[in-house]
Amino acid sequence: MTADMRNYFVVTGGYWAFTLTDGAIRMLVVLYFHLLGYSPFEVAMLFLFYEFFGIVTNLVGGWLASRLGLNVTMHLGMGLQVIALGLLTVPEAWLSVPYVMMAQAMSGIAKDLNKMSAKASVKSLVPSDADARLFKWVALLTGSKNALKGVGFFLGALLLQVFGFQNALLVLATGLSLVLLTTYMMLPKQLGKSKTKSTFTQVFSNNAAINWLSAARFFLFGARDVWFVVAVPVFLYEVLEWSFTQVGTFMALWVIGYGFVQASAPKLLGMQAHAPTARTAQFWAMVLCIIPGGIALGLMFNFDPEVILIAGLFVFGIVFAINSAIHSYLILAYSDHDKVALKVGFYYMANAGGRLLGTVLSGLVYQQYGLEGCLWFSSAFVLLALVLSLPLSGWKNGASSPS
């Protein structure tokens, strides 16, 4: 095993451990505060800062990583997650909405520091001429993370049932602390550190390809969350009359399946010996654009809503996972090795912004226009992502202008 492969497995293992805690803490908070009598709106508000601070963290985190190294920022994220878990172990009387929002804000900062660092480090571990390997490694890292986030939902519910809220958090904090110490000692201290000192203004990309790709990513993830975050679970519970357990299990299984597809994207696309291009992203965005509108039409024409929604989510999950895997590769491909942390941070700032917009609109649009309205918004957002990716045609990896 080469040193780069060993480091890749260490990064992936650390990212897996963090992701398990990220999924678990979300499920713990949702279930526990529901049991305390919080309204659905109050529970949703607990995660508002979690999403908002993702934008800020990715903006600043890429700059920090370029100066301090990805090893430092990745483990800073783990350390903040341990603190966030600890903050929630206080007596129940202290757990007000503002207090929990603060803890979730810290968890959101931790998540995006860890994610940005892990994904950017893959670029640092792959030779500049190994595009196919880069696609496979980033697809595996991203897909396995999403699958494990679904596992984290189960883990959080299980720990709550067995240990109770505070003890479950302590178990998670202890486990992540051990992983933090292990991976920090195993990774090179200079991983991802820029050879030249980066100024903060360099966070804002001057690479047109990265700007177009980031804009497309904003609407791509907005298209998912505008119906998946609030509209789908509420529709399953209120309209289809599923139980909380059924809704939670389905959402977890969807995320796990989505992750497996994402990890398998190079094989599914037949690209094990070569890598995707901008045209690949455009084609799959065009396919994705059709799916939410098709589901909306099925609901409008009174087909069985349960069959239409479940089948639609199944197809949407597969195609969206392929889109996400292609985008995750392209951002690394368009970034040069020395400034990869800055570019990835900028790109995932756009990702976080799209998620925040999608989350807010998911509630507002569902309240006004129902699930069908959310689905039409989703198709419109994918169409915008497709249009914004059109200028990428002809761009070469690492180039600042089209060939």
Report pLDDT for 398. 47
Domains of the chain: 3-192+203-392 (1.20.1250.20)
Going by C-alpha positions, the residue among 239, 231, 235 that lies closest to residue 365 is: 231
- Contact by Cβ (8 Å): 341, 62: yes
Looking at the chain, the whole-number percentage of residues with pLDDT higher than 70 is 88
User: Residue 400: pLDDT band by 50, 70, 90 thresholds?
Assistant: very low
Residue 197 DSSP one-character state = P
Percent helix, percent strand, percent coil in the chain, to nearest 5? 80, 0, 20
Per residue in 99-122, pLDDT tens? Answer: 888 898 899 889 888 887 887 777
CA distance 266 to 262: 9
Residue 55 CB neighbours (<10 A) = 20
Q: Which amino acid is at 320?
A: F
> 17 or 202: which carries more pLDDT confidence?
17
Going by C-alpha positions, the residue among 144, 71, 79, 67 that lies closest to residue 109 is: 79
CA distance 83 to 77: 10
Report pLDDT for 54. 77
> 171 or 248: which carries more pLDDT confidence?
171
Q: Which amino acid is at 10?
A: V
Sequence length of the chain is: 403
Report pLDDT for 395. 61
User: Residue 403: pLDDT band by 50, 70, 90 thresholds?
Assistant: very low
Q: What is the mean pLDDT of the chain?
A: 83
CA distance 181 to 121: 18
Give the residue-averaged pLDDT of 9-35: 84
Residue 314 CB neighbours (<10 A) = 11
Give the residue-averaged pLDDT of 60-65: 74
CA distance 98 to 143: 33
CA distance 360 to 363: 6
Can you give the pTM of this predicted structure?
0.77
178, burial (CB in 10 Å: exposed 0-12, middle 13-18, buried 19+)? exposed
The most distant pair of C-alpha atoms in the chain lies apart, rounded to whole Å, by 62
User: Residue 202: pLDDT band by 50, 70, 90 thresholds?
Assistant: low
Q: Which amino acid is at 280?
A: T
- Token pair in block for residue 101: 């929002």
Per residue in 327-384, pLDDT tens? Answer: 988 888 887 655 666 667 777 788 888 988 887 888 788 888 999 999 999 999 999 9
Report pLDDT for 16. 87
DSSP letter string, 207-256: -HHHHHHHHHHHHHHHHHHHHHTTHHHHHHHHTS---HHHHHHHHHHHHH
User: Residue 67: pLDDT band by 50, 70, 90 thresholds?
Assistant: confident
Give the residue-averaged pLDDT of 194-207: 57
The H-or-E segment that residue 165 falls in is helix 165-186
